[in-house]
Amino acid sequence: MNVVVLVSGRGSNLRAIFEAIDAGTCSAKIVGVVSDRKTAAALDLAAERDVPTRVVPLRKIDGRERWNEQLAEEVGMLGPDLVVLAGFMRVLGAPMLRRFPGRIINIHPALLPSFAGHDGPGDALEAGVRITGCTVHVVDAGVDTGPIIAQTAVPVLGDDTADTLHARIQVQEHRLLPRVIHQIAIGAIELDPLRVNTPVSDASRSLTVPDL
């Protein structure tokens, strides 16, 4: 299964996918890495492995709609079967969702539907919860609102800061995301593009989720 990974930062989840592929536990091939930031360290990680990279910056002069069109075109030229958002800090618009219906997944550092948005660990601490975690979900037009595929719980410790909690969540992200990609690749998880906008409570009807 050909995968394109979208990144904005250092690429720790990208590295985890590469390592799972190397270990034979993820039946996928990364055919491209795309970033909205030319300084993203994840681009260097991809280049070290001779994986094609693209940069599509969001410029005010172009506008968000044009950026989404450019992003969809660049990703499309790489020929993905699946698009994976791994620390990609932009909300995708209609051009991407139309181009890859039901074929975009995201990893989020919280147990959705709780604590959607850019600071899941910080929001969990502020809310005083004792359990948080990470979620892999299908991307739809909302912010972290698509059908849930799989989750892993992480305890919140009494002395946690947002940084220490996020670091422990990332350990689980690095395990969960490659597993989900593998399960999609072998057909154990079926993504249904006709039900991308299904509410989270109905997600189990549109996704076959094995015991990960």
Nearest-angstrom CA–CA distance, 35 and 110:
23
Q: Given a cut of 80, is residue 98 above it in pLDDT?
A: yes
158 φ/ψ sector (left φ>0, alpha ψ -120 to 50, else beta): alpha
CA angle 142, 133, 6 (to 5 degrees): 50
Name the least confident of 53-57, 64-68, 98-102, 172-176. Answer: 64-68
User: Per the confidence metrics, is the pTM higher than 0.85?
Assistant: yes
Indicate the helix (H) or strand (E) that contains 105. Answer: strand 104-108
Predicted pLDDT at 207: 36
In order of their start, the domains of the chain are: 2-206 (3.40.50.170)
Q: By the 8 A CB rule, do 25 and 176 touch?
A: no
Nearest-angstrom CA–CA distance, 136 and 110:
10
Summarised one tens digit per residue, pLDDT across range 21-69 is 999 999 999 999 999 999 999 999 999 999 999 999 987 777 788 999 9
State the catalytic residues: 108
User: Residue 208 CB: number of other CB atoms within 10 A?
Assistant: 14
Q: By the 8 A CB rule, do 141 and 94 touch?
A: yes
pLDDT interval class at 197 (50, 70, 90): very low
